[in-house]
């Protein structure tokens, strides 16, 4: 199978809209043509907005742009919303049979922000049930396949969104990230995904605890420069302005970044976090190759080092279990038999928690944050694998071992992501290269993601570093 083809950079698409080289209506037509060609086998967007409605919205966007009217920074760009984010008048299933026919009356905050920025909703991206597990399948809408090898998983839980932007079904996708749900599928599908700094944002949270900072929301796109504008639209919406002005802002910001790119970078790295995290051999080799390319680049200093992540496992397991009780405990009591076994396991882990254990986990998280922040004072970012394994077969719900080392739980294979989650620091996954599964006779090249972790509240700086690293590895 040929490699998937994403849409051009967002700045180029917007420039085409302004010049008339392409219209928003032509772009959504192209997205629907890609959906028609690929989605029967990939199943990225099982729920879609009616084509007529999408095209009408695109035509309105095009008319506003041509008239020089104020528009949002994502005006006319097709957008895939995660199926755990409520969309007014459009089915939102959460991947659960309990919500198979659920049609919300209002948009979640993240959806409203992106629509307010001018993005055009084209469909809902598939997820695992209640976003639990980094393998996108559910009994309501089926399994989503990896666009590089449809026999394998696309990751999760924002799996459908990663496939949509990797293949050009949509220009942008939104998602959430508790233990890697934006980063893991970005790695598996060869795109960019951002988990922002853990900041309480009750206007964006759809969880029962709207002040929760373990679960965050952000975007996914083919490249880092695209993510910057999605991140801005979600977390710091700006008033509309004529598209020509937006393009001037984009050009000015890009020029400033290019000037700053001459500054040396000091990057810490670790492939297995001091031997404490198993990493499959093909992933290790791909990351080593990427590091070698960075090492040869002038102006980049690489230092092998890791922060102290003591107690990160216990901290995440406890706080994640509490999250499942908070959000799904009522369903467990009323419909336990209709919930998948791993969700039941998470809820039961949460029900068994004591106040003392929860309090200890909260204290551990504070200590991890402080150690992490201290570690990063000496570096521009910390580099490690996004995922510890290559995309695996759909027939395997989750890995049970890595290179012969048994895993204790169904989420142990995403430690590389959830250890960063509990630190509260922003993390970005970008494509690092490709590797083949030794057990695959075809030797299919599968994406490997490099995770960059930045300073707390330094999300924009992390994106700057990400663009520079991305350019070297591209």
Give catalytic residues, as residue numbers: 82, 157, 181
Torsion of CA 274, 276, 278, 279, to 10 degrees: -30
How far is the C-alpha of 448 from the C-alpha of 389, rounded, in Å? 9
Q: How many residues does the chain have?
A: 474
Task: Return the closest-CA partner of residue 9 out of 186, 242, 169, 223.
Answer: 223
> Of 306, 300, 299, which is closest to residue 275 (Cα–Cα)?
306
- Strand residue runs (E) in 74-179: 78-82, 120-125, 137-138, 142-143, 145-146, 149-153, 172-177
Q: Distance of CA 272 to CAs 133, 288, 295, 307, 380, Å?
A: 22, 11, 18, 12, 20
Give the distance from CA 303 to its chain's centroid: 27
Please provide residue 437's backbone torsions phi and psi, each rounded to the nearest 5 degrees: -75, 120
Residue 135's φ and ψ, nearest 5 degrees, are -140, 115
Cα separation of 309 and 90, whole Å?
42
166: enclosing H helix or E strand: helix 159-167
Alpha-carbon gap, residue 120 to 81, rounded angstroms:
10
Q: Cβ(18)–Cβ(244) under 8 Å?
A: yes
**Element (DSSP H or E) covering residue 471:** helix 459-473
382 token code pair: 């910390």
Q: Which helix (H) or strand (E) holds 430?
A: strand 427-435
Contact 177, 159 (CB under 8 A): no
């Amino acid at each position: 199978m040929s490699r998937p083809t994403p849409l051009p950079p967002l700045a180029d698409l917007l420039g085409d809209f302004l010049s008339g080289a392409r219209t928003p209506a032509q772009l959504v037509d192209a997205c629907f043509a890609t959906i028609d060609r690929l989605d029967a086998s990939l199943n990225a967007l099982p729920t879609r907005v009616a084509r007529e409605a999408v095209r009408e919205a695109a035509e309105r966007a095009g008319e506003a742009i041509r008239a020089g009217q104020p528009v949002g920074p994502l005006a006319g760009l097709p957008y895939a919303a995660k199926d755990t984010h409520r969309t007014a008048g459009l089915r939102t299933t959460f991947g659960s049979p309990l919500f198979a026919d659920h049609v919300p009356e209002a948009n979640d905050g993240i959806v409203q922000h992106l629509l307010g920025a001018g993005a055009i909703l084209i469909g809902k991206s598939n997820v695992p049930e209640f976003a639990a597990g980094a393998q996108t399948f559910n009994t309501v809408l089926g399994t989503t396949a990896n666009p590089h090898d449809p026999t394998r998983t696309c990751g999760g839980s924002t799996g459908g969104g990663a496939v949509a932007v990797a293949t050009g079904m949509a220009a942008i996708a939104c998602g959430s990230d508790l233990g890697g749900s934006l980063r893991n599928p970005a790695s598996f599908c060869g795109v960019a995904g951002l988990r922002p700094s853990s900041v309480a944002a009750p206007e964006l949270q759809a969880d029962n605890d709207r002040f929760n900072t373990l679960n965050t929301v952000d975007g996914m796109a083919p490249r880092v420069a695209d993510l910057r504008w999605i991140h801005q639209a979600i977390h710091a919406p700006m008033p509309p302005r004529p598209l020509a002005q937006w393009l001037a802002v984009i050009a000015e910001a890009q020029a400033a970044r290019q000037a700053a790119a001459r500054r040396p970078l000091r990057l810490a790295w670790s492939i297995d976090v001091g031997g404490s995290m198993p990493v499959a051999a093909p992933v290790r080799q791909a990351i080593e190759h990427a590091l070698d390319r960075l090492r040869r680049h002038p102006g980049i200093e690489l230092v092998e080092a890791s922060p102290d992540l003591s107690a990160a496992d216990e901290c995440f397991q406890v706080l994640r279990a509490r999250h499942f009780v908070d959000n799904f405990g009522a369903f467990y009591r009323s419909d336990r038999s209709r919930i998948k076994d791993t969700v039941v396991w998470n809820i039961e882990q949460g029900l068994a928690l004591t106040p003392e254990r929860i309090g200890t986990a909260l204290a551990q998280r504070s200590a991890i944050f402080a150690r992490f922040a201290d570690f990063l004072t000496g570096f521009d970012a910390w580099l490690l694998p996004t995922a510890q394994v290559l995309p695996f077969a759909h027939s395997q719900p989750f890995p049970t071992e890595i290179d012969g080392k048994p895993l204790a739980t169904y989420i142990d294979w995403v430690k590389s992501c959830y250890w960063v989650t509990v630190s509260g620091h922003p993390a970005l996954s970008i494509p690092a290269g490709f590797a083949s599964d030794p057990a695959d006779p075809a030797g299919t090249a599968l994406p490997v993601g490099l995770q960059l972790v930045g300073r707390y509240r330094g999300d924009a700086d992390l994106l700057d570093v990400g663009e520079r690293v991305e350019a070297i590895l591209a």
